Chains A and B, each alone.
Chain A
Amino acid sequence: MVDFAGWEMPVQYEGIREEHSAVRTHAGMFDVSHMGEVEVEGPGALAFLQRVLSNDVAAVAVGGAQYSCLCGEEGGVLDDLFTYRLGGDRYLIVTNSANHESDLAWLGRWSREFDVAVRDVADRYAMLAVQGPHARRILTATLGVELPARMRVAHVRVGRRPALACGTGYTGEDGVELLIDPEIAPAIWAELLDAGVVPCGLGARDTLRLEVCFPLHGNDLSPDRNPIEAGLGWCCKEETGFVGAEAVARARREGTAEKLAPFTIEGAGIPRQGNPVLADDEEVGAVTSGTFSPSLEIGIGMAYLRADLAAPGTEIEIDVRGKRRNGRVGSKPLYAR
């Protein structure tokens, strides 16, 4: 068990490779109850969210889901989050646990200009991410619920309690994230375990998300990096006038000195966070996430690289604990079925 933003969480149950492979080929489940939830409700909810979130929230229909950045005024990424539209003027935002308190303070501050209530509802939900090609089939058979399509959210009943089923995830596989009453979470976990869903820890969560190049806030995203250099320009709609939009528009227009790029190691070596990246013996960046890819059976990672080196195919070297390892910039995702 490790401490993760104040939560005791397992790195692994039986083994990272086994858990990883269960999600790629069958179904795995992650207890991600550490994720925070914030409810935003009121006549001004849409206008408020349009102001604080980088994506075009107006495009989200009732029952829809959307990924976006929460940017600071200088365009830095304070957090990356999913927003679910639960009703006409009712939304739920899922935060990264390490940022939950600061997100709440930030949202609270900007909400004063709008007719909206911002509530911390993190204690109301346990979150189970059930992921993998068989996740939906098993969930439907076990819990008897109608599951939403990908990027949709549905009000369902789990264990006779109201719950939310979200067609989202962090693994690159099809699957569902369940937001359920914490009281019934252990029973639901046990039921899914009986149905053959493999319990997975933080270790597999990291290898799975990195293979498909989903960034992790705190590693690959930070308040010092804007969404453009992080490769998240696609979820920024500057014309909505969100906080930080001007800085993001400038970065998009003028380009950035560095870009976040995925890479693979050619041959031996496993990159780790903080390893320097070199090109022509010159330091050109640093690894923000690195691991062994169980699917590809090589070292993989992401690094902020000098922009001219971030194109797929570029040869780089990674200094892994004093040993130069040959790497190559890849394209997203590094792993695809």
Chain B
Amino acid sequence: MADASYPDDLRYHPEHDWARIEGEEATFGITWYAQDSLGEVVFYDPPEVGATIAKDTAYAEVESVKAVSDVIAPLSGEIVAVNEGLADAPERVNDDPYGEGWLVRVRLTDQAEVEGLLSAADYRKLLESD
């Protein structure tokens, strides 16, 4: 498992999700903290491509041996791709949460929402205050 890290080029949601904003699209995943709390991920239940997801609501499930967890959408949008590779190798969420362990790619419907997300520094502060 990788060491704790929270890359500066990502934006964060307090429910331990990250978003990599690339123009009108964004990639979502769960943070190092989230995967560490969950333990070894053994199952990822993705949404359908084309589905509409709303900020702050659950859009997928990740499950470890010990527990199941909802994944919360950091932003609203439409799913344009899901990480098919996780079907055979869900442990990538643990091994590389910001790379190979990405969960979905989304076409954003409300760019203004991005301003509401946390910076890496603010997210780290949130973790320290917990």
- B43 to A269, Cβ gap below 8 A? yes
- A292 to B63, Cβ gap below 8 A? yes
Interface residues of B in 22-67 (CB under 8 A from A): 39-40, 42-43, 45, 61, 63-66
Q: How many residues of B contact A (CB 8 A)?
A: 11
- With an 8 A cutoff between CB atoms, is A294 at the interface? yes
- B39 to A12, Cβ gap below 8 A? yes
Which of chain A's residues has its CB closest to B61's CB?
A321
- B63 to A270, Cβ gap below 8 A? yes
Which of chain A's residues has its CB closest to B94's CB?
A15
- What is the CA–CA distance of A207 and B42 in the complex, to the nearest angstrom? 13
Which among B39, B63, B65 has the greatest number of chain A C-beta atoms within 10 A? B65
- With an 8 A cutoff between CB atoms, is A151 at the interface? no
- B61 to A15, Cβ gap below 8 A? no
Q: How many residues of A contact B (CB 8 A)?
A: 18
Q: Is the interface of A mostly helix, strand, loop or mixed?
A: loop
Contact of A268 among B39, B40, B45, B66 (CB under 8 A): B45
Contact of A203 among B43, B61, B66 (CB under 8 A): B66
Contact flag A16-B43 (CB < 8 Å), given A207-B65, A321-B68: no
Which of chain B's residues has its CB closest to A17's CB?
B40
Residues of the B chain whose Cβ atoms lie less than 8 Å from the Cβ of A321: 61, 68
Contact of B65 among A16, A268, A269 (CB under 8 A): A16
Which of chain B's residues has its CB closest to A202's CB?
B66
A273-315 vs B, CB cutoff 8 Å, 1 = contact: the mask equals 0000000000000000001101001010000000000000000
- With an 8 A cutoff between CB atoms, is A11 at the interface? yes
Residues of the B chain whose Cβ atoms lie less than 8 Å from the Cβ of A17: 40, 42, 65
Residues of the B chain whose Cβ atoms lie less than 8 Å from the Cβ of A15: 39-40
Closest CB-CB distance, A2 to chain B, in whole Å? 10
Interface residues of A in 107-134 (CB under 8 A from B): none
- With an 8 A cutoff between CB atoms, is A272 at the interface? yes
Which 7 pairs of residues, A with B, have the shortest CB-CB distance? A16-B65, A292-B42, A292-B65, A203-B66, A15-B40, A17-B40, A270-B63
Interface residues in chain B, defined as those with a beta carbon under 8 Å from any beta carbon in chain A: 39-40, 42-43, 45, 61, 63-66, 68
